[in-house]
Structure 1
Amino acid sequence: MGVATAKEGETVELNVGFSGSAGRSAARSAADSVIREFAFDAITIRASPKAAKGLENNPNVRYVEENGTMFALAQSTPWGVDRVDAEVAHSNGYTGAGADVAIIDTGIDSDHPDLQANLGSGKSFVQCSTKGGCRYGAKPADNTCYQSWDDDNDHGTHCAGIASGDDNSQGVVGVSTENTLHAVKVLDKCGSGSFSDIAAGVEYTADQGWDVGSLSLGGSSGSQTLRDACQYAVNNGVFLVAAAGNSGPCTDCVGYPAAYDTVMAVSSTNSSDGLSNFSSQGPEIEIAAPGTDIYSTVPGGYATFSGTSMACPHVAGAAGQLAAQGYTNTEIRSRLKNTAEDIGLAANESGAGLLDDAAALGLDSSDST
């Protein structure tokens, strides 16, 4: 379980997975307070370490885990849109209109001119705040929290612009230009969020019936609660894609949730079709996308970042275009892999190859009109 040692009288925040009503009752009875209940037979509580130990020994409890933390996998432009032949899709009328893409991240800047036309709804599972410093050294974005799901960091807005920046003759264009973007804010101003917050965001995405969940976040250790949430979302028709992580160079270090088999793991490439030096590698990698020096939206303007976080929304935008054409989540995953371009990288580096948006839509790169 790995519950941290607490001083006498203190409690710890736990995610508890259970089986049936008896397990739920046991978890609730052990709790000093209930923080969140999920639809997939899990609950987040505060309880004493002694109560946690009792739950571990309960045959109706599947797991007990401390509610750990994941972080935004940032940072390092629209050369990537061109490289995956998204402009071919645009010129042939494939805009992604009608599909819903959830950016499960730090939020989205609600008044950015390159995103406003494509913004749908949003929900925040952490507080939006631009005041104060950050424990982990990140600088909060210079932005106003007009909405609870506004971006007080900049990471989520950057990912949103890559996935579906508006084709409005200014700023940047995304892989999709008319996917509806939904801000599911699970990471705070410092770019961190608990397993429970992120699981709740994934669950919420599924409950809204949205097509794509884009997760440019992760950690080196997994969470059974988040694994359950991802399974719940996929069972409910969501295509999930996640950043592989920035732990490279390595040969087997894909982070979570990308490492879950319910999620498409994305590695990062540079403008020379090489693997980005920071990109995590491993057998879980299914596809690669541009992630080095990606120019996109941030609150109040634009910036260039690098990371597998930037590769992930390239795939999310392409998935949204496929969803708009009626493909299911499992069909989207297969089609993206089956049409990927072989750029000579090993399978543990790029999976099936580099994302080819045009090919996934049945177009040839010469089909530009």
Structure 2
Amino acid sequence: MDTTAFIRMLQDTMACTDKSAVKRIIRFQHVSDYRYFLQHMPTVHSSLSPQQNIRNIPIIRGIACRLPAEETLERFAGRVWIEKDCKISVHASTQKSATAVEKGIPWGVNQIKAPLAWGTTTGHKVKVGVIDTGVDFSHPDLRQSLSRGINLLNRSMLPHDDNGHGTHIAGTIAAANQLQGMIGVAPRALISPVKAFDHNGSAFVSDIILGIEWCIRNRMNVINMSFGMKTKSKALLGAVINAHNAGVIIVASSGNDGKRRTVDYPARYPQTIAVGATNKLRRVAPFSNRGSYIDVYAPGDKILSAWLRGKYNEMSGTSMATSHVCGAIALLLAHKPGLTPTEIKAIIKRSVQPLRGSKARRTIGELDVMRMMQAVDKT
């Protein structure tokens, strides 16, 4: 490819103040083209205004930038792949603030039998990357469970939560304040909040990919992805495959549309563990997507967990189910380090509790921590 011509075209196109410009992800097919582009990136940047920045995404050999139209790049087809940098949303539906705290152990943590494993494992030092809206660093139930993480929306700031969703997820995974507050599935796991989502609970795919890259580079054991979208993204799939190959387990929520034959991306990718939601009766929650793409179900209906300003909130969604599964994996990894993503997925799937009132094949059921522990001890 004439990379010089590509750079010139990119500069010219981005310099146009066209209101129709949208965010796009461009991936280079050949390493040599990508490297050449990176060498000349400072020159490109110097010719653009601050609003027109180009972001480098090494994990997929790509960049993210605003461009007016795809047609301008057509002559480079075959050397670069272009896709729209789509918006992606967190997976939570109803919520209500909780005044009376369900002291100690929330129902979902009990239902998956996590407390029965705490004599053996508490998830000690297992690193969980939570790609979400950030976290409330001052929450008394989370203070012992957090590392610094990263704010991808403003790298000079801590990943403070301005939405609440990320704090709720973190609480279910690793809250550790049983005397005054609540306790999560893996109270001694270490959460790294990766803020990719804004106060509305939405993010661009490029931010998610940068979050996955940060998790790989910082050696996270597990990534919690409580979000999804309907369309597939080859760039996101590339990042997920990279994480999987690096030994990082990705747990993703299936979506809250009550669909029977489909789940959202990235849960639909085979390299992730796709999670559906159940209620207190061990039935699939009405809002949860379900069907053959689901790997495991977990409590996701009326889940009480940590919230902003040290408070608590009850939320429902496959997001909440996903955080239970992440916590369970942290318990398993602290007990038996070195298990691969493929091994963990197989252990979870063969250790499930049958669902109530479900015609689903018996291989898909609800998360059961004690069965997981027994299955791994037999191997």
Give the TM-score, by structure 2 length: 0.82
2:270 to 246, 261, 264: 261
CA distance in 2, matches of 1:310, 1:286: 15
Q: Does structure 2 conserve the Cα–Cα contact (< 8 Å) formed by 1:114 and 1:171?
A: yes
1: CA distance between counterparts of 2:222 and 2:31? Answer: 31
Q: Does 1:81 align with 2:93?
A: no
Q: Give me the whole-angstrom Cα distance separating, in 2, the residues matched to 1:309 and 1:164.
A: 15
Tell me whether 1:322 sits opposite 2:332 in the alignment.
yes
Contact 1:52–1:64 (CA under 8 A) maintained in structure 2: no
Which of 296, 299, 305 is matched with 1:296 structurally? 305
Unaligned runs of 5+ in 2: 1-15, 95-101
Aligned to 1:339: 351
What is the SS of the residue equivalent to 1:121? Answer: coil
Aligned to 2:286: 277
Q: Could you say if the C-alpha distance between residues 94 and 46 of structure 1 is closer, same or farther in structure 2, counting changes exceeding 3 Å? A: same
Q: Distance in 2 between matches of 1:81 and 1:295?
A: 10
Give the letter for the 1:98 counterpart: K
C-alpha contact 1:214 1:316 (8 A) present in aligned 2: yes
Give the one of 112, 124, 136 matched to 1:97.
124
Distance 1:50 1:155 in 2: 35
8 Å contact 1:75–1:309 — kept in the other structure?
no
8 Å Cα contact 1:171-1:302 kept in structure 2: no
Match of 1:353 among 356, 359, 365: 365
Distance, in Å, in 2 between the alignment partners of 1:312 and 1:285 is 12
Could you list the per-position Cα deviations for residues 119-162 of structure 1 after superposition, in whole angstroms to 9, with x for gaps in the alignment? Answer: 1121011249xxxxxxxxxxxxxxxxx95201110000001111
Query: Following TM superposition, by how much is the alpha carbon of 1:352 offset from its aligned partner in structure 2, in angstroms?
Result: 2.4
Shift of residue 282, structure 1, vs aligned partner:
3.2
Structure 2 equivalent of residue 184 of structure 1: 194
Distance between the aligned counterparts of 2:122 and 2:273, measured in 1?
22
Alpha-carbon distance change, 60 to 157 in structure 1, aligned in 2, over 3 angstroms: same
Question: CA separation of 1:263/1:347 partners in 2, compared to 1, >3 Å: closer, same or farther?
Answer: farther
Write 1 or 2 for the structure with the bigger share of helix.
2
Residue of 3, 22, 25 corresponding to 1:15: 25
For residues 237-277 of structure 1, what are the alpha-carbon distances to aligned partners after superposition, in whole Å with 9 as ceiling and x for unaligned?
Answer: 100001100011x2123001111111110000010111101
1:297-349 CA-partner distances (Å, limit 9, x unpaired) = 0112101100001000000001111121212322221111111112243448x
The residue identity in structure 2 corresponding to 1:88 is L
Q: Which residue of 2 aligns with 1:59?
A: 78
Tell me, yes or no, if structure 1 residue 231 matches structure 2 residue 241.
yes
Deviates more, 1:234-243 or 1:319-328: 319-328
Note if contact 1:287-1:352 (Cα within 8 Å) is conserved in structure 2. Answer: yes
For 2:72 and 2:363, the matched residues in 1 are separated by 40
Match of 1:35 in 2: 55
Tell me the residue number matched to 2:88. 70
Rg larger in 1 or in 2?
2
**More divergent stretch after superposition (114-123 vs 68-77):** 68-77
Contact 1:127 1:188 in 2 (8 A): no
Residues 1:45 and 2:73 are matched in the alignment: no
Residue 11 of structure 1 deviates from its aligned partner by 3.0
8 A Cα contact 1:75 1:310, kept in partner: no
User: RMSD of the TM alignment (CA)?
Assistant: 2.6
Equivalent pair of 1:33/1:47 in contact (CA under 8 Å):
no
Counterpart contact for 1:289–1:312, Cα < 8 Å:
yes
Give the number of equivalent residue pairs.
337
Q: Under a length normalisation based on structure 1, what TM-score does the superposition of the two structures give? A: 0.84
Check conservation: 2:148, 2:158, Cα contact below 8 A: no
Q: Is the 8 A contact 1:246 1:278 kept in 2?
A: yes
User: Distance in 2 between the 1:186 and 1:99 partners?
Assistant: 22
What residue number does 2:151 align with?
A: 124
The 3 A distance-change label for structure 1 pair 147 and 37 is: closer
Q: Does 1:108 align with 2:135?
A: yes
Secondary structure, aligned partner of 1:54:
helix
The answer as to whether partners of 1:15 and 1:67 remain within 8 angstroms in 2 is yes
